[in-house]
Amino acid sequence: MHAIRVNELTKRYGSTLALDGVTFEAAPGRVTGFLGRNGAGKTTTLRILVGLASQTSGTATIGGLPYHGIDNPGRHVGALIDGAGFHPGSSARGQLLVLARGVGVPASRVDEVLALTDLAYAATRRTGKLSLGMRQRLTLAAVLLADPEVLILDEPANGLDPQGLRWMRDLLRRLALQGRTVLVSSHQLNEVALVADDVVVVHGGRVVASGPVAELTRARVVVRSPLAGPLATALSRAGLRVQIDGNAVRVADATTDRVGDIAATIGAPVHELRVETSSVEDVFFASIDGRAVAA
């Protein structure tokens, strides 16, 4: 099982702390969205994962091994980091043939990945004549050449039109359903929400939120009361998970009836009682602003 595990990863550039104890896992059979603003530490983490940079401390492993400890890592890990440097005068198919020889896969695989990425019609075109979206698909074709068990993709949707974005979602989902580990860095929150099983949010070089999308975005009951503290205590004693934000108490896995009944039992005035739902976008912005989303 080729799980990705990052544990207490730190990276310093002189006096700048780029990564500060980053810890998360990406599991086989699931798509993990790696989210953060520009400069949050996403690409630095991914570069360390695939051996393009070294950490100051901590570990980053794939299947329990650092990238350079994997026997012929190109056969097991497909990575899209910092784009690809295709020769503009070479054809799409020609570029892939060179790469195929490098990782030891047959030439027939080139035609398979061109078809998989919907580029068979452009196989003979020079890469310098391809659109940004087509070059992005070609990069993905290169990533998939060795049929890797682990995919590490940094902003793979860049340059794709709406049809391309849907294609990308479908591809990532199919790859995960085949049991692969898929880690996707992106700033396109809505796209991640449509495909990811789990998300990890980094901000300022630290993980500020992580977990299954279904868990992080689940519905909660919000109750506002001038006696928020005592009400939160009563709700906790009733076995409910709570989080206080001023005079508001957010309650997980509860109904408005139950929360209202408990408030009435302790005589807490209720000024508002409603169900609140969150999106991946809500999780992202709340976590980078330092506010908890899930109870």
Q: 162-177 vs 132-144: helix axis angle to the nearest 10?
A: 10
Same structural domain, 11 and 40: yes
Indicate whether 175 belongs to any domain: yes
Among the candidates 187, 213, 239, a domain finishes at 213
**What does the pLDDT look like over 190-231, one tens digit per residue?**
888 889 999 999 999 999 989 998 888 888 899 999 999 999
Same structural domain, 239 and 272: yes
Indicate whether 291 belongs to any domain: no
* Integer Cα distance of 35 and 79 in angstroms: 17
* Integer Cα distance of 57 and 53 in angstroms: 12
Same structural domain, 147 and 266: no
- Residue 31's contacts (CB-CB under 8 Å, 6 or more residues apart) are 172, 173, 176, 182, 184, 195, 196, 197, 198
Please give the model's pTM, rounded to 2 decimal places: 0.81
Structure tokens, 5: 């595990």
Indicate whether 269 belongs to any domain: yes
Indicate whether 57 belongs to any domain: yes
Same structural domain, 163 and 41: yes
The parent domain of residue 253 ranges over 219-276
User: Cβ of 208: how many Cβ atoms within 10 Å?
Assistant: 21
Element containing residue 207 per DSSP (H, E): strand 206-212
**What does the pLDDT look like over 26-66, one tens digit per residue?**
999 999 999 988 889 999 999 999 999 999 999 999 999 99
- Tell me: pLDDT of 290 over 70: no
Question: Closest Cα partner for 154 from 139, 167, 164?
Answer: 139
Indicate whether 183 belongs to any domain: yes
Indicate whether 287 belongs to any domain: no
Phi-psi region of 152 (alpha: psi -120 to 50; beta: other; left: phi over 0): beta
Indicate whether 295 belongs to any domain: no
Position 219 scores a pLDDT of 83
**What does the pLDDT look like over 83-137, one tens digit per residue?**
667 788 889 899 899 989 888 899 999 999 999 998 999 888 988 888 888 888 8
Same structural domain, 226 and 253: yes
Number of domains in the chain: 2
Among the candidates 213, 237, 252, a domain finishes at 213
Same structural domain, 180 and 266: no
